[in-house]
Structure 1
Amino acid sequence: MTTITLVLGDITRESADAIVNAANSSLLGGGGVDGAIHRRGGPEILEECRRLRAAHLGGGLPTGQAVVTTAGRLDARWVVHTVGPVFSASEDRSGLLASCYRESLKAADGLGARTVAFPAISTGVYRWPMDDAARIALETVRAARTSVEEVRFVLFDQRAYDVFAARIG
């Protein structure tokens, strides 16, 4: 059974087998979590992302999918990059958000990762409401068939932490 823990802090400071990056589809860095992971992890992450784009992801990484690179200078072995959906009040994209967590865990399983640190995917510039994002994240991880022993949600601010904590029970 997978243990779920919550941490208030900076995901780039976490020690885990795999750190999940809330990437944009280009895989070439950006703002928020994506920019922070690329800055702290160093150029090795960007180099591998460029190779992935050149090899088979010429159009970018599709929303809800996941790919793996080195973690560079992060205290992890790998970075699992996943592209969350932009929130829409008129279209249900919750399946795509759940897919980010499932596909990231599947990638982590393929690597033999035992600990995985996740951010709250899509809750920044993609504007997914935190309470709904926490519900989807926790339900998806709880239902996942995975060999990952610990899933750690690393939440950047107290508000996000409190929302996840209220949902974790």
Structure 2
Amino acid sequence: MTTIDVVLGDITTENVDAIVTAANESLLGGGGVDGAIHRAAGRRLAEAGGKIGPCPPGEAMATPAFDLDPPVRHVIHTVGPVWEGGRYGEAGVLASCYRRCLAVADELGAGSVAFPAIATGVYGFPPEQAARIAVTTLRSTPTEVSRIRLIAFDAETLDLLRTALAA
């Protein structure tokens, strides 16, 4: 059975097998959580991303974690949807991000995965809706991952994720 925890923290310091980054399509690094992960993992992460990218929205791809501290062995890159008012299938693309990340984690044999709040930063996805989609999708997706950690970057996101988890 998979357990889901919600915590406030820095995803780069999580004690998990794999961390998810909310990437851009190039997988070369960006701002926000993606930038933080790239800084922590070192320049080889962008080099590895460049070799496997581009990654379309809703998909996921993995690279080694490079300079991230063990036990983190993998970075799973996923590209969320840019919010355009909800009329262009953004919710389905966001749900696909979570499903595909779990599928990639299963392929890697990762027993534990940390997720950020995908697409809620510069991509503009409404945080409350994103939290519901994240929790609903992670709960309903079959996986071998035994421990999922949802990492909030601020108190508002923490509250939204906790509310979604309690529903």
Same fold (TM over 0.5): yes
1:1-33 residue CA offsets vs partner (Å, 9 max, x unmatched): 110001101111112100001000011111011
User: Whole-Å Cα distance in 1 between the matches of residues 136 and 104 of structure 2?
Assistant: 18
Residue 151 (1) aligns with residue 151 (2): no
2:57 alignment counterpart: 63
Q: How does 1:118-133 map to 2 (within 5 A)?
A: 118-133=115-130
Q: How does 1:93-112 map to 2 (within 5 A)?
A: 93-112=90-109
2:136 alignment counterpart: 139
AA aligned opposite 1:83? V
1:92 alignment counterpart: 89
Deviates more, 1:5-14 or 1:83-92: 83-92
User: Whole-Å Cα distance in 2 between the matches of residues 68 and 27 of structure 1?
Assistant: 10
2:62 touches 2:104 (CA, 8 Å); kept in 1?
A: yes
2:36 alignment counterpart: 36
1:45 alignment counterpart: 45
Q: Structure 1 residue 87: deviation in Å?
A: 1.0
2:21 alignment counterpart: 21
Structure 1 alignment gaps of length 5 or more: 54-59
1:44 touches 1:70 (CA, 8 Å); kept in 2?
A: no
Q: TM-score if structure 1 supplies the norm length?
A: 0.94
AA aligned opposite 2:73? R
1:118 touches 1:154 (CA, 8 Å); kept in 2?
A: yes
Q: Structure 1 residue 91: deviation in Å?
A: 2.7
2:74 alignment counterpart: 78
Structure 2 alignment gaps of length 5 or more: none
Residue 3 (1) aligns with residue 23 (2): no
Q: Structure 1 residue 46: deviation in Å?
A: 1.4
SS of alignment partner, residue 22 of structure 2: strand
What's the C-alpha RMSD, in Å, of the aligned pairs?
A: 0.9
Q: Structure 1 residue 49: deviation in Å?
A: 1.1
* Identical-residue share of aligned pairs (%): 53
1:40-94 residue CA offsets vs partner (Å, 9 max, x unmatched): 11022112112214xxxxxx21000000001111131000000000112133311
1:162 alignment counterpart: 159
User: Whole-Å Cα distance in 2 between the matches of residues 168 and 64 of structure 1?
Assistant: 22
User: Whole-Å Cα distance in 2 between the matches of residues 50 and 24 of structure 1?
Assistant: 11
